[in-house]
Amino acid sequence: MENEVIGKVKLDYSHYSGQDLYCDGEVEDEILDIVTKYSPVEYGRIIEERKSWPVLYHLSTQRENIVSWLPIDKSMKVLEIGAGCGAITGVLSDMAKEVTCVDLSRKRSLINAHRHEECDNITINVGNFSDIEPDLDTDYDYALLIGVFEYGQSYIGGKTPYEDFLTIIRKHVKPGGSIVIAIENRYGMKYFAGCKEDHLGTYFSSIECYKNGGGVRTFSKNGLKKIFESTGENEYHFYYPYPDYKFMTTLFSDDELPKKGELYNNLRNFDQDRMLLFDEQAAFDGVLEDGHFPFFSNSYLVVLGARPDTDYIRYSSDRASLYSLSTRISKGQNGKIVKKHALSINDGPGSGHNHVNNMVRYGELLADRYSGSKLQIVPCKQEENGTVSFPYVSGRPLSEMFDELLANGDVEGFTSLFDEYFNRIDYGNDEYVSDLDLVFSNILVDGDTWTVIDYEWVEEKKIPTKEIAFRALYCYLLENEERNKFNFELIIEKLGITPDEAEGYRLQEAAFQKKVTGKRLSMGELRNLIGGPILMADKLLTAGGADKLRSTVQIYEDYGRGFNEDDSFFVDEVYNADNYIEFSVPIDSKACKVRIDPFMDYCMTEVHEIALNGEVLDIHDNKRVYVNGKKLQSENGVNCVFYYNDPNIVVEVKDKVRSTGNLLRVRMTTGELPGNMVKSLKNELQKKIRF
């Protein structure tokens, strides 16, 4: 087959056999169609419309986070092994002088080329790695294996495939260059908690050392170290991507490990169902306290070679582009330094660059307001446009101190600490500058020194201190529902906040969060839209077994941070002999959205009526009521066809809930759809209706 050029991208078929031996089937045709018809800026919208795990996995820009922090510059050559559909190829092209890709599949390589056709520094070698490898250059600065090393047996074969794989790759990296590996941890916390193994789709298979076989192997930290050292790779540096390397939001290191309460975003089963055997956040907190997090991290990223100066990075990329930024802790000449960097490329007025640059002025204003007080403001310095820096501050997060008091049942201590917090932030309340971001996690305590380390959301006006304190308390609650065991109404009353004021503050916060996140859905919302069902062991047993659980109705409430199992319950009513159910359930006044799961498998549901507080809602309005399937009109309401085995109906309620006494009434009929019929049904509807 002759070589090919798509746009500016070169495809080399010198070693291609003419047959794709690795293929995900027709979904790759769908993705190829998307990248040839649409520009990358439209991928976010398409991901939400298609509601498909493969489309999300291959096209989400969050995949880039795992490599975009590496110190790659325009003087460097990069080798990407197993480039696939190009999830990280584009960002590598932006960073490096030259990118050489290797992939077994022609179709995936075509997807890669089409989505990056404007890049003139990408060459894609199509074919078996063993055939291509002898012709690769030997002076790459970086060789990347992102989600590839676990396939070493398939790539190389033999008795020591993983060791041989590393030895071969090292030949193509110049002296002083690095190999980067991202891989799941065999003993990741999510696997103990009930996630299926990512590659085999079976429970506990990695924990049980793959006793039933399979062509994939992941490793523990020690297991990887043994492989590295056996090949002479004695300089290696472990990082810990969270929640995992696929859609990383935060990267930790041994020099910056997570703190208690920080690991709460754990439900990420987009492509498979899962059990939930225990509270992962609570388990992580215990592991962190005992110093065992590296063993239980869900994923590893390892740099074989010189250690990058980055200790930690967090991507706030689930936001509108205007507010998307990264926060990095790195080693500098005078110790650690914290930098915030705008992720948007536009640097004009009102842009993400301007949003970040404003923090310099905000820091100065806040420093003036709190001058002479017992609240320190970390200074902010302008770096290049769109980047600011702060000195690194040690201390204990105020949120962690509150958690400790709650755990000990120390109500008096909690109230006393909150009083101290209120008094400190109240200083200078006549000044025309207010920091909305004085949440507990943004304040570090070291003895009697309290330091504000982040002030992204500052307004140059007077805002009552009780409003800022309420927001801090409200955000603290949303991070962990376990904190609701404390009666926070006592503090709200102490602040002199009326029920109507509290309700107004909640709605104000919901509007603020919507402004920050923009039109696109967060990863948590996408999980709820796309992800498979989550089976809670205790609820499964209470419900009387899996068969009975499948036909029960589950209700979720979203308080502004997405749906989660802790904020859900099963309705008492059951379907009658005609598969009809009618029920009324109370809804919390904090709820922004309510999700109704009518069945625990593929199904068709006819929604006859949804009413809130006696008001019948327009179920035909896709902005009010939307589903992770397809709506069809019917004589008695709306028919919803669900192509996923975790069907859900989402109702927007934030503008309808009252401060007390909310009651949701639902009438619907549901029929199960056999799994083997679902695919053909979906295809038939797609012929008539854009899905």
| Angle (deg, nearest 10), helices 26-37 and 106-115 | 20
Residue of higher predicted confidence among 478 and 67: 67
φ/ψ (deg, to 5) at 517: -80, -25
Q: Where are the alpha helices (DSSP H) in 392-545?
A: 398-407, 411-425, 465-479, 489-494, 499-517, 523-530, 537-542
User: Are 106 and 83 in contact, with CB atoms under 8 Å apart?
Assistant: no
Q: DSSP 3-state assignment of 540?
A: helix
Looking at residues 297-317, what average pLDDT do you find? 97
> At residue 49, does pLDDT exceed 80?
yes
Once rounded to an integer, what is the mean pLDDT over residues 206-221? 93
Can you give the pLDDT at residue 574? Answer: 84
* pLDDT at residue 629, as a whole number: 85
Q: Which residue from 84, 94, 76 is spatially nearest to 59, judged by alpha carbons?
A: 84
* pLDDT of 468: 96
pLDDT at 267: 84
Confidence check: pLDDT of 688 > 70: no
Question: Is pLDDT at 676 greater than 80 in this prediction?
Answer: no
541 pLDDT band (50/70/90 cuts)? Answer: low
Output phi, psi for 228, to 5 deg: -60, -50
Most confident range (mean pLDDT) of 270-284, 380-394, 541-555 is 380-394
pLDDT tens-digit profile of 360-412? 999 999 999 999 999 999 999 999 999 999 999 999 999 999 999 988 989 89
- Spell out the long-range contacts of 498-501 with Cβ–Cβ below 8 A and sequence spacing 24 or more: 499/659, 499/660, 500/659
Compare 1 and 251 and report the one with higher pLDDT: 251
- Residue 542's pLDDT is 55
Helix (H, G, I), strand (E, B) or coil at 645: coil
pLDDT above 50 for 356: yes
> HSE on the CB side for 595, CA within 13 Å?
24
CA atoms within 13 Å, Cβ hemisphere of 481:
16
Q: Look at residue 564 in the predicted model and tell me its pLDDT.
A: 79
Residue 682 or residue 158, greater confidence: 158
Q: Where are the domains of the chain?
A: 330-497, 525-688
Query: What pLDDT does 689 receive?
Result: 37
Encode pLDDT of 25-39 as tens digits.
788 999 999 999 999
Give DSSP secondary structure letters for 166-228: HHHHHTTEEEEEEEEEEEEBTT-HHHHHTPBPTTT--BTTTTTTTTT--S---B-HHHHHHHH
What is the reported pLDDT for 681?
A: 66
Residue with tokens 């609650």: 477
Put residue 656 in one of left, alpha, beta given phi > 0 → left and psi -120 to 50 → alpha. Answer: alpha
What is the number of alpha carbons within 13 Å of residue 93 lying toward its C-beta? Answer: 22
Tokens 């924990």, located at residue:
207
Task: Dump the DSSP string for 36-88.
Answer: HHS-GGGHHHHHHHHT-HHHHHHH-GGGGHHHHTS---TT-EEEEES-TTTTT
In tens, the pLDDT along 141-157 reads 999 999 999 999 888 88
Q: What is the DSSP letter of 116?
A: T
Q: What is the pTM of this model?
A: 0.81
Residue 478 near residue 470, CB atoms below 8 Å? no
- The closest alpha carbon to 582, from 456, 474, 682, 669, belongs to 669
